[in-house]
Amino acid sequence: MNNKIGVNSWVWTSPFTDASLGLLDKAASMGFSVFEIALEDPSHVTAAKASEALQATGLRPVVCGAFGPSRDLTHDDPEYREESLRYIDQALAFCEKIGAKVLCGPMYSAVGKRRQVSPEQKKVEWDRAVSGLSKAAKLAANRGVTLAIEPLNRFETDLVNTSEQALKLVNDINYPAAAVHLDTFHMNIEEKDFRAAVRTAGKKLAHVHACENDRGAPGSGVVNWSGFIAGLKDIGYSGDLVIESFTPECKAIAAAAAIWRPLAKTQDDLAREGLAFLKRQLA
């Protein structure tokens, strides 16, 4: 397999700002080929400076969206839905300026929105997500970007938990710029079979987060990597595998991701060890 391996900026910092651009040098020196910018606030990062840093390091960019409470395409209040679309449009503009071809994340709803609702309410929220993401997909296509839509585990959303549900959402959107994004951390909770879940996404799979079950270094836990990689080979996946993790030193994001303890000796160790493991798996 000739997939490129990347790392998400959340491994080291939150939020990502112009002052964080030195992380690209670190990632490149470690041997990563892709750098995923977690874009919590588009005003924090100057696209021209990010583009310059990317060119200097030779790293290919991906942008990861951050969907807090005010960014919710399923919300009853239309202002929240409008805010979500405004943010997605800003993120897409940033993608275009830095040459990123993928905007990934759980962009259908706010992370942490998990309730038991009636089938009727679920249908209303599903339809809102489809409507909002249909608009977002058209915006993405105009900028040459693919939306890679990520299912999350049951503790982080009640709307899209599995590869099958993500594929249904993408099919309901029915626009070429909408695709699936799978994350092995969430899959380890929600899927019964890693290989089958990847095969379900099939050619609609546009992006992968390669994460351990505890968010530690890939290869250090119990994720079924052999089944997952076999699935990627089955479908001829040619996209990136990006390590996403978090540090308890960044209090806000650590609380959101429930990171209560260090997941490796150092964050650099987590990145290096994960990269070495994934290279062996893909060899």
Residue where the block lists tokens 């909770």: 189
Which CATH topology does 5-282 take?
TIM Barrel (3.20.20)
Q: What is the pLDDT of residues 191-237, one digit of tens each?
A: 999 999 999 999 999 999 999 999 999 999 999 999 999 999 999 99
The predicted pLDDT at position 135 comes to 98
CB 7 within 8 A of CB 32: yes
Cα 18 from Cα 122, distance rounded (Å): 40
Q: What is the pLDDT of residues 47-59, one digit of tens each?
A: 999 999 999 999 9
Domain chopping of the chain, boundaries: 5-282
Residue 140, pLDDT > 90, answer: yes
The predicted pLDDT at position 262 comes to 84
Q: Name the pairing type of β-strands 146-149 and 178-183.
A: parallel
Structure token pair of residue 219: 């290869």
- Dihedral of alpha carbons 130, 136, 142, 147, sign: negative
% pLDDT > 70, the chain: 100
List the one residue out of 53, 44, 16 whose CA is nearest residue 246.
16
Q: What is the pLDDT of residues 75-96, one digit of tens each?
A: 999 999 999 999 999 999 999 9
The predicted pLDDT at position 258 comes to 85
Mean pLDDT of 153-178: 98
The predicted pLDDT at position 261 comes to 87
**pTM for the predicted model, two decimal places:** 0.97
- Angstrom CA distances, 21 to 51, 110, 250, stand at 10, 27, 17
CB 133 within 8 A of CB 169: yes
Mean pLDDT of 129-157: 98
Cα 30 from Cα 48, distance rounded (Å): 24
The type of residue at 78 is P
Residue 257, pLDDT > 90, answer: no
Calculate the CA 161 to chain-centre distance: 14
Residue 251, pLDDT > 80, answer: no
